[in-house]
Amino acid sequence: MVGGGQLARMTHEAGIPLGIKFKLLSDTPQDSAAQVVSEVVVGDYRDLDTLRAFARGCDVITFDHEHVPTAHLRALEADGVPVRPGPDALVHAQDKGVMRAKLDAIGVPCPRHRIVSDPEDAARFAAEVAGGGAQHLGEGRWPGDGDGSGGFPVVLKTVRGGYDGKGVWVVRSSKEAEEPFRAGVPVLAEEKVDFARELAANIVRSPHGQAVAYPVVESIQVDGVCDTVIAPAPGLDPELAGHAQELALRIGQELGVVGHLAVELFETADGRILVNELAMRPHNSGHWTQDGAITSQFANHVRAVLDLPLGDPRPRARWTVMANVLGGDYPDMYSAYLHCMARDPQLKIHMYGKDVKPGRKVGHVNTYGDDLAEVRERAAHAAGYLRGTITE
Protein backbone atom coordinates (compact mmCIF):
# COMPACT_ATOMS: atom_id res chain seq x y z
CA MET A 1 0.00 0.00 0.00
CA VAL A 2 1.36 3.39 -1.00
CA GLY A 3 0.78 5.98 1.72
CA GLY A 4 1.22 5.60 5.46
CA GLY A 5 -1.83 7.44 6.82
CA GLN A 6 -4.74 6.24 8.90
CA LEU A 7 -6.50 4.72 5.89
CA ALA A 8 -3.55 2.39 5.36
CA ARG A 9 -3.47 1.62 9.08
CA MET A 10 -7.13 0.55 9.11
CA THR A 11 -6.84 -1.32 5.80
CA HIS A 12 -3.91 -3.28 7.24
CA GLU A 13 -6.02 -4.09 10.30
CA ALA A 14 -8.78 -5.45 8.05
CA GLY A 15 -6.29 -7.73 6.27
CA ILE A 16 -4.91 -9.32 9.45
CA PRO A 17 -7.74 -11.90 9.89
CA LEU A 18 -7.09 -13.08 6.31
CA GLY A 19 -3.35 -13.47 6.91
CA ILE A 20 -2.58 -10.80 4.32
CA LYS A 21 1.06 -9.67 4.36
CA PHE A 22 1.23 -5.91 4.06
CA LYS A 23 4.13 -3.89 2.69
CA LEU A 24 3.96 -0.14 3.14
CA LEU A 25 5.57 2.80 1.35
CA SER A 26 5.52 5.56 3.93
CA ASP A 27 6.82 9.13 4.05
CA THR A 28 8.24 8.69 7.56
CA PRO A 29 8.60 5.90 10.16
CA GLN A 30 6.22 7.86 12.40
CA ASP A 31 3.27 7.79 9.97
CA SER A 32 0.07 6.25 11.30
CA ALA A 33 0.31 2.94 9.40
CA ALA A 34 4.12 2.72 9.68
CA GLN A 35 3.68 2.29 13.44
CA VAL A 36 1.80 -1.00 13.03
CA VAL A 37 2.86 -2.58 9.70
CA SER A 38 5.82 -4.94 9.96
CA GLU A 39 7.38 -4.27 6.54
CA VAL A 40 7.83 -0.54 5.96
CA VAL A 41 9.78 1.17 3.20
CA VAL A 42 10.40 4.85 3.88
CA GLY A 43 10.58 6.80 0.63
CA ASP A 44 9.10 9.36 -1.72
CA TYR A 45 6.11 8.10 -3.71
CA ARG A 46 6.83 10.81 -6.30
CA ASP A 47 10.12 9.11 -7.24
CA LEU A 48 9.66 6.43 -9.92
CA ASP A 49 12.76 4.42 -8.96
CA THR A 50 11.53 4.30 -5.36
CA LEU A 51 8.11 3.10 -6.50
CA ARG A 52 9.61 0.44 -8.75
CA ALA A 53 11.86 -0.87 -6.00
CA PHE A 54 8.96 -0.93 -3.56
CA ALA A 55 6.71 -2.79 -6.03
CA ARG A 56 9.15 -5.68 -6.51
CA GLY A 57 7.66 -8.79 -4.94
CA CYS A 58 4.22 -7.24 -4.42
CA ASP A 59 1.19 -9.13 -5.74
CA VAL A 60 -0.81 -5.91 -6.04
CA ILE A 61 -0.39 -2.19 -5.33
CA THR A 62 -3.13 -0.03 -3.80
CA PHE A 63 -3.21 3.39 -2.11
CA ASP A 64 -4.39 5.43 0.85
CA HIS A 65 -4.21 8.67 -1.16
CA GLU A 66 -4.54 9.82 -4.78
CA HIS A 67 -1.27 11.71 -5.15
CA VAL A 68 1.03 9.23 -6.94
CA PRO A 69 1.80 10.70 -10.39
CA THR A 70 -0.33 9.10 -13.09
CA ALA A 71 2.71 8.50 -15.33
CA HIS A 72 4.41 6.55 -12.52
CA LEU A 73 1.38 4.28 -12.19
CA ARG A 74 1.41 3.61 -15.92
CA ALA A 75 5.10 2.69 -15.63
CA LEU A 76 4.32 0.18 -12.87
CA GLU A 77 1.60 -1.36 -15.01
CA ALA A 78 4.05 -1.59 -17.92
CA ASP A 79 6.40 -3.44 -15.55
CA GLY A 80 3.63 -6.01 -15.01
CA VAL A 81 2.58 -4.87 -11.52
CA PRO A 82 -1.19 -4.98 -10.87
CA VAL A 83 -2.22 -1.46 -9.78
CA ARG A 84 -5.70 -1.17 -8.22
CA PRO A 85 -7.37 1.13 -8.91
CA GLY A 86 -5.46 1.51 -12.17
CA PRO A 87 -4.18 4.83 -13.50
CA ASP A 88 -6.99 5.15 -16.07
CA ALA A 89 -9.50 5.08 -13.20
CA LEU A 90 -7.51 6.88 -10.52
CA VAL A 91 -6.84 9.94 -12.69
CA HIS A 92 -10.51 10.86 -12.22
CA ALA A 93 -9.89 11.24 -8.49
CA GLN A 94 -6.54 12.96 -9.05
CA ASP A 95 -7.65 15.58 -11.56
CA LYS A 96 -10.94 17.41 -11.04
CA GLY A 97 -10.95 18.68 -14.62
CA VAL A 98 -10.64 15.16 -16.01
CA MET A 99 -13.29 13.96 -13.57
CA ARG A 100 -15.81 16.63 -14.54
CA ALA A 101 -15.26 16.03 -18.28
CA LYS A 102 -15.82 12.28 -17.87
CA LEU A 103 -18.92 12.68 -15.71
CA ASP A 104 -20.34 15.09 -18.28
CA ALA A 105 -19.65 12.57 -21.04
CA ILE A 106 -21.52 9.77 -19.26
CA GLY A 107 -24.45 11.98 -18.25
CA VAL A 108 -23.82 12.27 -14.51
CA PRO A 109 -25.45 15.34 -12.90
CA CYS A 110 -22.87 17.83 -11.58
CA PRO A 111 -22.73 21.51 -10.61
CA ARG A 112 -22.13 23.84 -13.55
CA HIS A 113 -18.40 24.17 -14.09
CA ARG A 114 -15.49 24.91 -16.42
CA ILE A 115 -11.72 25.40 -16.29
CA VAL A 116 -10.86 29.10 -15.92
CA SER A 117 -7.61 30.79 -16.90
CA ASP A 118 -7.38 33.79 -14.56
CA PRO A 119 -9.46 35.91 -12.13
CA GLU A 120 -11.15 37.74 -15.01
CA ASP A 121 -12.18 34.41 -16.53
CA ALA A 122 -13.51 33.33 -13.12
CA ALA A 123 -15.61 36.51 -13.04
CA ARG A 124 -16.91 35.74 -16.54
CA PHE A 125 -17.89 32.27 -15.32
CA ALA A 126 -19.72 33.86 -12.39
CA ALA A 127 -21.62 36.03 -14.87
CA GLU A 128 -22.47 32.94 -16.93
CA VAL A 129 -23.84 31.24 -13.82
CA ALA A 130 -26.01 34.30 -13.23
CA GLY A 131 -27.43 34.04 -16.73
CA GLY A 132 -24.81 35.75 -18.87
CA GLY A 133 -26.13 39.27 -18.42
CA ALA A 134 -23.32 40.82 -16.37
CA GLN A 135 -21.00 43.26 -18.14
CA HIS A 136 -17.42 44.06 -17.18
CA LEU A 137 -17.18 47.52 -15.57
CA GLY A 138 -13.43 47.97 -16.07
CA GLU A 139 -10.56 48.15 -13.56
CA GLY A 140 -11.12 44.52 -12.62
CA ARG A 141 -14.68 45.16 -11.44
CA TRP A 142 -17.82 43.18 -12.22
CA PRO A 143 -21.42 43.82 -11.17
CA GLY A 144 -22.16 42.21 -7.86
CA ASP A 145 -18.57 41.96 -6.66
CA GLY A 146 -18.84 40.95 -3.03
CA ASP A 147 -22.62 41.09 -2.67
CA GLY A 148 -23.57 37.66 -4.07
CA SER A 149 -25.11 38.97 -7.30
CA GLY A 150 -23.61 38.74 -10.77
CA GLY A 151 -23.06 35.02 -10.13
CA PHE A 152 -20.84 35.39 -7.07
CA PRO A 153 -20.08 33.54 -4.91
CA VAL A 154 -18.54 30.70 -6.92
CA VAL A 155 -16.25 27.86 -5.93
CA LEU A 156 -12.70 27.68 -7.29
CA LYS A 157 -10.66 24.48 -6.98
CA THR A 158 -7.14 23.56 -8.00
CA VAL A 159 -7.58 20.58 -10.30
CA ARG A 160 -4.98 18.51 -8.44
CA GLY A 161 -3.81 18.12 -4.87
CA GLY A 162 -6.78 19.37 -2.83
CA TYR A 163 -8.33 17.53 0.12
CA ASP A 164 -10.16 18.32 3.39
CA GLY A 165 -10.98 21.82 2.18
CA LYS A 166 -7.44 22.53 0.96
CA GLY A 167 -7.21 23.77 -2.61
CA VAL A 168 -10.82 24.97 -2.46
CA TRP A 169 -11.99 28.59 -2.22
CA VAL A 170 -15.44 30.14 -2.06
CA VAL A 171 -14.88 33.52 -3.72
CA ARG A 172 -17.29 36.43 -3.51
CA SER A 173 -15.59 38.88 -5.85
CA SER A 174 -13.12 39.03 -8.71
CA LYS A 175 -10.52 40.31 -6.22
CA GLU A 176 -10.92 37.22 -4.03
CA ALA A 177 -10.54 35.08 -7.16
CA GLU A 178 -6.84 36.02 -7.40
CA GLU A 179 -5.64 33.68 -4.62
CA PRO A 180 -6.28 30.27 -6.30
CA PHE A 181 -4.18 31.22 -9.34
CA ARG A 182 -1.04 32.02 -7.35
CA ALA A 183 -0.07 28.34 -7.22
CA GLY A 184 0.31 28.33 -11.00
CA VAL A 185 -1.86 25.24 -11.58
CA PRO A 186 -5.12 24.91 -13.52
CA VAL A 187 -8.24 26.07 -11.68
CA LEU A 188 -11.75 24.67 -11.99
CA ALA A 189 -14.68 27.04 -11.39
CA GLU A 190 -17.99 25.61 -10.16
CA GLU A 191 -21.29 27.14 -9.23
CA LYS A 192 -21.87 27.31 -5.48
CA VAL A 193 -24.74 24.89 -5.04
CA ASP A 194 -27.46 25.89 -2.61
CA PHE A 195 -27.73 22.38 -1.23
CA ALA A 196 -29.92 21.06 1.57
CA ARG A 197 -27.23 18.69 2.84
CA GLU A 198 -24.24 16.59 1.76
CA LEU A 199 -24.52 12.86 1.14
CA ALA A 200 -22.07 10.11 0.24
CA ALA A 201 -22.61 6.90 -1.69
CA ASN A 202 -19.90 4.31 -1.06
CA ILE A 203 -19.43 1.27 -3.27
CA VAL A 204 -16.75 -1.39 -3.72
CA ARG A 205 -15.97 -3.08 -7.03
CA SER A 206 -13.72 -6.05 -7.83
CA PRO A 207 -11.67 -6.72 -11.01
CA HIS A 208 -14.19 -9.25 -12.28
CA GLY A 209 -17.02 -6.72 -11.92
CA GLN A 210 -18.72 -7.78 -8.68
CA ALA A 211 -19.89 -4.69 -6.80
CA VAL A 212 -21.63 -3.87 -3.52
CA ALA A 213 -23.22 -0.64 -2.32
CA TYR A 214 -23.39 0.61 1.26
CA PRO A 215 -26.35 2.64 2.54
CA VAL A 216 -26.21 6.29 1.50
CA VAL A 217 -25.03 8.44 4.41
CA GLU A 218 -25.32 12.07 5.45
CA SER A 219 -21.96 13.82 5.83
CA ILE A 220 -21.82 16.93 8.00
CA GLN A 221 -18.88 19.25 7.32
CA VAL A 222 -17.40 21.89 9.63
CA ASP A 223 -14.86 24.34 8.14
CA GLY A 224 -14.40 22.08 5.12
CA VAL A 225 -13.61 18.99 7.21
CA CYS A 226 -15.93 16.03 7.78
CA ASP A 227 -17.26 16.22 11.35
CA THR A 228 -20.09 13.66 11.55
CA VAL A 229 -21.48 10.90 9.35
CA ILE A 230 -24.95 9.41 9.90
CA ALA A 231 -25.78 6.02 8.42
CA PRO A 232 -28.21 5.77 6.79
CA ALA A 233 -28.97 9.39 5.86
CA PRO A 234 -32.04 10.28 7.97
CA GLY A 235 -35.21 11.14 6.09
CA LEU A 236 -33.73 10.37 2.68
CA ASP A 237 -36.39 9.35 0.18
CA PRO A 238 -35.83 5.64 -0.59
CA GLU A 239 -36.13 6.28 -4.31
CA LEU A 240 -33.47 9.00 -4.16
CA ALA A 241 -31.23 6.76 -2.03
CA GLY A 242 -31.53 3.99 -4.61
CA HIS A 243 -30.77 6.47 -7.37
CA ALA A 244 -27.61 7.59 -5.54
CA GLN A 245 -26.43 3.99 -5.13
CA GLU A 246 -27.13 3.22 -8.78
CA LEU A 247 -25.25 6.39 -9.81
CA ALA A 248 -22.21 5.38 -7.76
CA LEU A 249 -22.26 1.86 -9.18
CA ARG A 250 -22.51 3.23 -12.72
CA ILE A 251 -19.61 5.64 -12.14
CA GLY A 252 -17.53 2.76 -10.78
CA GLN A 253 -18.28 0.65 -13.84
CA GLU A 254 -17.78 3.43 -16.40
CA LEU A 255 -14.45 4.47 -14.87
CA GLY A 256 -13.22 0.91 -14.31
CA VAL A 257 -12.73 1.37 -10.57
CA VAL A 258 -11.27 -1.52 -8.58
CA GLY A 259 -11.57 -1.16 -4.82
CA HIS A 260 -13.52 1.35 -2.78
CA LEU A 261 -15.19 4.37 -4.42
CA ALA A 262 -16.74 7.21 -2.47
CA VAL A 263 -19.08 9.51 -4.39
CA GLU A 264 -19.68 12.74 -2.48
CA LEU A 265 -23.05 14.27 -3.32
CA PHE A 266 -25.13 17.40 -2.84
CA GLU A 267 -28.84 16.90 -2.14
CA THR A 268 -30.66 19.98 -3.39
CA ALA A 269 -33.76 21.53 -1.88
CA ASP A 270 -35.84 20.37 -4.84
CA GLY A 271 -34.89 16.71 -4.33
CA ARG A 272 -32.05 16.26 -6.85
CA ILE A 273 -28.54 14.94 -6.30
CA LEU A 274 -25.36 16.36 -7.86
CA VAL A 275 -21.91 14.76 -7.76
CA ASN A 276 -19.39 16.88 -5.87
CA GLU A 277 -16.21 14.78 -5.56
CA LEU A 278 -14.85 11.25 -6.09
CA ALA A 279 -12.36 9.31 -3.95
CA MET A 280 -10.96 5.91 -4.97
CA ARG A 281 -9.82 4.56 -1.61
CA PRO A 282 -11.40 3.98 1.78
CA HIS A 283 -13.06 7.22 2.78
CA ASN A 284 -14.01 9.16 5.90
CA SER A 285 -17.70 8.82 5.00
CA GLY A 286 -17.26 5.03 5.25
CA HIS A 287 -15.54 4.82 8.65
CA TRP A 288 -18.89 3.98 10.27
CA THR A 289 -18.75 0.59 8.53
CA GLN A 290 -16.01 -0.63 10.88
CA ASP A 291 -18.61 -1.19 13.61
CA GLY A 292 -21.90 -0.56 11.82
CA ALA A 293 -21.77 -2.83 8.76
CA ILE A 294 -21.45 -6.57 8.34
CA THR A 295 -18.33 -6.01 6.21
CA SER A 296 -16.35 -2.80 6.60
CA GLN A 297 -15.17 -0.62 3.73
CA PHE A 298 -11.59 -1.59 4.63
CA ALA A 299 -12.26 -5.34 4.52
CA ASN A 300 -14.09 -5.00 1.22
CA HIS A 301 -11.30 -2.86 -0.24
CA VAL A 302 -8.80 -5.62 0.64
CA ARG A 303 -11.09 -8.24 -0.90
CA ALA A 304 -11.57 -6.18 -4.05
CA VAL A 305 -7.91 -5.46 -4.79
CA LEU A 306 -7.12 -9.17 -4.25
CA ASP A 307 -10.12 -10.17 -6.43
CA LEU A 308 -11.81 -12.08 -3.61
CA PRO A 309 -15.61 -12.32 -3.28
CA LEU A 310 -16.97 -9.16 -1.65
CA GLY A 311 -18.63 -9.11 1.76
CA ASP A 312 -22.12 -8.08 2.81
CA PRO A 313 -22.39 -4.27 3.09
CA ARG A 314 -25.67 -4.18 5.03
CA PRO A 315 -25.83 -2.30 8.36
CA ARG A 316 -25.80 -4.13 11.70
CA ALA A 317 -27.93 -1.55 13.51
CA ARG A 318 -30.73 0.83 12.63
CA TRP A 319 -28.44 3.84 13.08
CA THR A 320 -24.68 4.26 13.19
CA VAL A 321 -22.96 7.61 13.76
CA MET A 322 -19.29 8.36 13.16
CA ALA A 323 -17.74 11.48 14.67
CA ASN A 324 -14.19 12.58 13.91
CA VAL A 325 -11.86 13.33 16.80
CA LEU A 326 -9.83 16.46 16.09
CA GLY A 327 -6.73 17.41 18.01
CA GLY A 328 -7.34 19.66 20.99
CA ASP A 329 -6.29 19.95 24.61
CA TYR A 330 -5.52 16.29 25.40
CA PRO A 331 -2.12 15.17 24.07
CA ASP A 332 -2.46 12.02 26.22
CA MET A 333 -5.79 10.33 25.54
CA TYR A 334 -5.61 7.77 28.36
CA SER A 335 -7.44 9.81 31.00
CA ALA A 336 -10.12 10.70 28.43
CA TYR A 337 -10.57 6.99 27.64
CA LEU A 338 -11.45 6.35 31.27
CA HIS A 339 -14.38 8.74 31.12
CA CYS A 340 -15.64 7.84 27.64
CA MET A 341 -15.51 4.08 28.12
CA ALA A 342 -17.15 4.22 31.54
CA ARG A 343 -19.91 6.51 30.29
CA ASP A 344 -20.65 4.44 27.17
CA PRO A 345 -19.52 0.79 27.23
CA GLN A 346 -20.79 0.32 23.64
CA LEU A 347 -18.63 3.16 22.31
CA LYS A 348 -16.04 2.21 19.67
CA ILE A 349 -12.89 4.36 19.64
CA HIS A 350 -10.43 4.33 16.73
CA MET A 351 -7.27 6.40 17.25
CA TYR A 352 -4.61 6.82 14.58
CA GLY A 353 -1.40 7.09 16.60
CA LYS A 354 -0.83 10.68 15.46
CA ASP A 355 0.69 13.51 17.43
CA VAL A 356 -2.14 15.67 18.70
CA LYS A 357 -2.27 19.05 16.97
CA PRO A 358 -5.18 21.52 17.03
CA GLY A 359 -7.66 20.72 14.27
CA ARG A 360 -5.83 17.60 13.05
CA LYS A 361 -7.80 14.37 12.56
CA VAL A 362 -6.39 12.05 15.20
CA GLY A 363 -9.18 9.46 15.35
CA HIS A 364 -12.89 8.82 15.22
CA VAL A 365 -15.62 7.22 17.29
CA ASN A 366 -18.56 5.07 16.24
CA THR A 367 -21.85 4.67 18.08
CA TYR A 368 -24.94 2.71 17.07
CA GLY A 369 -28.47 1.94 18.26
CA ASP A 370 -32.18 2.36 17.59
CA ASP A 371 -32.66 5.98 18.74
CA LEU A 372 -30.92 8.42 16.40
CA ALA A 373 -30.93 11.37 18.81
CA GLU A 374 -29.29 9.23 21.51
CA VAL A 375 -26.75 7.74 19.11
CA ARG A 376 -25.77 11.21 17.86
CA GLU A 377 -25.42 12.56 21.39
CA ARG A 378 -23.16 9.68 22.41
CA ALA A 379 -20.89 10.18 19.41
CA ALA A 380 -20.72 13.97 19.82
CA HIS A 381 -19.98 13.68 23.54
CA ALA A 382 -17.19 11.16 23.08
CA ALA A 383 -15.55 13.08 20.22
CA GLY A 384 -15.82 16.32 22.17
CA TYR A 385 -14.43 14.82 25.37
CA LEU A 386 -11.48 13.25 23.53
CA ARG A 387 -10.77 16.63 21.99
CA GLY A 388 -11.17 18.50 25.25
CA THR A 389 -14.11 20.70 24.29
CA ILE A 390 -16.36 18.75 26.67
CA THR A 391 -15.03 18.21 30.20
CA GLU A 392 -17.85 16.44 32.04
Residues 339-361 have a mean pLDDT of 94
Q: Which residue stretches of the chain are H helix?
A: 6-15, 48-55, 70-78, 87-94, 96-105, 119-129, 238-255, 289-292, 297-305, 334-343, 372-387
Write out the residue limits of the CATH 3.30.470.20 domain(s) in the chain. 195-387
Query: What is the DSSP track for 93-113?
Result: HH-HHHHHHHHHHTT-----E
Residues 218-244 have a mean pLDDT of 96
Mean pLDDT of the chain: 92
In terms of phi and psi (left: phi > 0; alpha: psi -120 to 50; beta: otherwise), the region of 16 is alpha
How far CA 252 is from CA of 13, 245, 312, in Å, comes to 25, 11, 18
* pLDDT of 12 above 90: yes
Greatest alpha-carbon span in the chain: 66
Per-residue pLDDT of 116-149, as tens digits, reads 999 999 999 999 988 744 444 344 444 444 444 4
6-83 has which CATH code?
A: 3.40.50.20
In whole angstroms, give the CA distance from residue 297 to residue 295.
7
**Phi, psi torsion values for 160, nearest 5 degrees:** -130, 150
pLDDT, residue 371, reads: 98
* pLDDT bracket for residue 164 (50, 70, 90): low
Are 23 and 54 in contact by the 8 Å Cβ rule? The answer is: yes
| Residue 349 identity (one-letter amino acid) | I
In whole angstroms, give the CA distance from residue 173 to residue 183.
19
Fold observed for domain 112-191: Dna Ligase; domain 1 (3.30.1490)
pLDDT, residue 150, reads: 58
**Phi, psi torsion values for 372, nearest 5 degrees:** -65, -45
Per-residue pLDDT of 30-89, as tens digits, reads 999 999 999 999 999 999 999 999 999 899 999 999 999 999 999 999 999 999 999 999
Write out the residue limits of the CATH 3.40.50.20 domain(s) in the chain. 6-83
Write out the residue limits of the CATH 3.30.1490.20 domain(s) in the chain. 112-191
Pick the CATH number of 195-387 from 3.30.470.20, 3.40.50.720, 3.40.50.1370, 3.40.50.10420: 3.30.470.20
